[in-house]
Structure 1
Amino acid sequence: MNRSPHGLNRRAATVLLAAAAALSPWAAQAQGTPEAPRVKLETSAGDIVIELYPDKAPKTVANFLQYVRDKHYEGTIFHRVIDSFMIQGGGYDTRYNEKPTRAPLRHEGREALAAGGPRNVVGTVAMARTSDPHSASAQFFINTKDNAFLDPTLIPPGDPVPKFEFQGRVYENVPRASLERSPQLFGYTVFGKVVSGMDVVKKIESVKTGAGGPFPSDVPRTPVVIKSATLIKE
């Protein structure tokens, strides 16, 4: 069956196809690429807008957006604030009750970094977790300085890995599986960055802190509340 366009001979079709191919880069440029989703955190200290990177950390971004859609973050506080380090929130209400969460998330920090994702530098947003790399759920933190020691460690090729350096020490002929399972090498998954309201982040960072609820330190004496979290661009 002839699948050429109606009434178009082969030569004319070839010319049109060649023209379309030549124009395709310009067409793609005109159409643009899909913009990254953004979430606005309305806090008692001001608004913070976070741009997310689903192309680098898709599962982490999807997890965060689901909590946003579920209105999980409304009424939660920044419960851990450390000057020249980071501000952390999204897990506790103003009475220091921990909010229920879904099942924890599989860590994808290495995949994100290998895909060209950002590191833990000023303004980036990462998932908080326990010592278990796969324990992140809803809590997140915003880096207020460059925190390279929080970055995931990429494992060189080979099994065993011929040479591996970590924290100033060199290891040779290490079984790959032992490196891939080592909790110290997972780091923290960066999945977004503050694009507006970094002055608000710095304002939160500078508040006076002390003991609060179950925490012996680093809790803002005047609660910093997330009033709402809204997806403003998808």
Structure 2
Amino acid sequence: MTREQERARERRRAQKFEAKQALREREAARNRQVAVVVAAVLVVVAAFVILTTQLGKDDKATPSAEPTGSTQTTASATTTAAPVAGCTAAPAPPTSITKVAKPDKATAAGKTFTAVVTTNCGDITIQLDGAKAPQTVASFVALAKASYFGDSPCHRITTQDPLFVLQCGDPLGGSGTGPGYTYGIENAPKDGKYPKGTVAMARTNDPNSNADQFFIVYKDSDLSSVPEGYSIFGTVTGGMDIVEKIAAAGVSGGATDGAPAAPISILKVAVTEKKA
């Protein structure tokens, strides 16, 4: 082989090596691009998962099927919608809660009271049974006398079986921390049935968390899924049509559980003892 042929062969070898090297570089570049794309996709997927999880948490934070006192519906939702016929505009809710000392249940034991709950939609009259629920009635009476319920929005309405209630009692519309005391369950029905007109205490999952929030049943409700039940302390004797009117207007935003679409607030509560 001549020197010229050897040089030609070396050039071919060099060209093949350069071609292979260029191919490797192109493959490496392509792999880097793929890695960047995959990383970007993973970032997008991760962001989507985080957002979905957060929304799931928000959903879990919404009011449950039970009339618990931990409902976090804001009071502002009850003051922006237009009132229904027979109602005036709901007042602005308080910005703070007046703390009240826990009353002795002996102040209500064996007694019957009449509570006139004046709302922006009219009066709702409730007979309070201190014989069956002395601590609950004593608390309600004490809060009423302290003007605790003044201008407080009824922050929750439920419109889906098995729960049909209007929930009230928290001056801050569901975000308050209560009057400064709590107590246990009294007079909960063993069968879990809450007939229309029943007035009972709302609470959290803690049976000893009764405080200020209460609910009015506007249609027979079955809460037998909650073994401990809720303290029944009164019965509506007048003004049930007001609660039914609010219920008929539905929930703000078209849901089945949340702030009433028709705002209703307690302006004041007057309580008198019924003499034998």
Name segments (4+ residues, structure 1) moved above 3 Å: none
Q: How does 1:103-114 map to 2 (within 5 A)?
A: 103-110=181-188, 113=189
Deviation at 1:207, TM superposition (A): 2.3
Pick aligned residue for 1:196 from 228, 231, 238: 238
Deviation at 1:122, TM superposition (A): 0.3
Amino acid at match of 1:104: T
More strand by share: 1
Instruction: Determine the structure 2 residue equivalent to 1:87.
Output: 166
More divergent stretch after superposition (199-208 vs 41-50): 199-208
Pick aligned residue for 2:260 from 215, 220, 231: 220
* C-alpha separation in 2, matches of 1:201 and 1:139: 16
Is this contact kept in 2: 1:45–1:200, CA < 8 A?
Answer: yes
**1:155-175 deviation line (CA, Å, top 9, x unaligned):** xxxxxxxxxxxx7xxxxxxxx
**1:62-99 deviation line (CA, Å, top 9, x unaligned):** 111111111111110110012261100111347x6526
Is this contact kept in 2: 1:129–1:139, CA < 8 A?
Answer: yes
Instruction: Determine the structure 2 residue equivalent to 1:98.
Output: 176
Pick aligned residue for 1:124 from 162, 178, 198: 198
Where 1:193 maps in the other structure, the secondary structure is strand
Is this contact kept in 1: 2:198–2:216, CA < 8 A?
Answer: yes
* C-alpha separation in 2, matches of 1:198 and 1:140: 15
- When residues 100 and 202 of structure 1 are mapped into structure 2, their CA distance, relative to the original with a 3 A threshold, is same
Which runs of 5 or more structure 2 residues have no equivalent in the other structure? 1-109
Instruction: Determine the structure 2 residue equivalent to 1:43.
Output: 119
Deviation at 1:222, TM superposition (A): 4.1
Pick aligned residue for 2:152 from 76, 79, 83: 76
Identity of aligned residues (%): 31
Instruction: Determine the structure 2 residue equivalent to 1:11.
Output: none
Amino acid at match of 1:54: G
Is this contact kept in 1: 2:251–2:258, CA < 8 A?
Answer: yes
Is this contact kept in 2: 1:92–1:99, CA < 8 A?
Answer: no
More helix by share: 2
Is this contact kept in 2: 1:41–1:47, CA < 8 A?
Answer: yes
Q: Relative contact order (C-alpha < 8 Å, sep 6+): which is higher?
A: 1
Q: Does 1:63 align with 2:139?
A: yes
Where 2:183 maps in the other structure, the secondary structure is coil
Instruction: Determine the structure 2 residue equivalent to 1:24.
Output: none
Q: Does 1:205 align with 2:235?
A: no
RMSD: 2.7
Is this contact kept in 1: 2:124–2:242, CA < 8 A?
Answer: yes
- Aligned residue pairs, count: 160
Is this contact kept in 1: 2:246–2:262, CA < 8 A?
Answer: no
- Could you state the TM-score of these two structures normalised by the residue count of structure 1? 0.61
Is this contact kept in 2: 1:87–1:142, CA < 8 A?
Answer: yes
Is this contact kept in 2: 1:121–1:145, CA < 8 A?
Answer: yes
* C-alpha separation in 1, matches of 2:186 and 2:178: 22
Decide which structure has the larger Cα Rg and report it.
2
Deviation at 1:232, TM superposition (A): 3.5
Where 2:135 maps in the other structure, the secondary structure is helix
- Could you state the TM-score of these two structures normalised by the residue count of structure 2? 0.52
Is this contact kept in 2: 1:109–1:186, CA < 8 A?
Answer: no
- When residues 106 and 69 of structure 1 are mapped into structure 2, their CA distance, relative to the original with a 3 A threshold, is same
Deviation at 1:210, TM superposition (A): 2.2
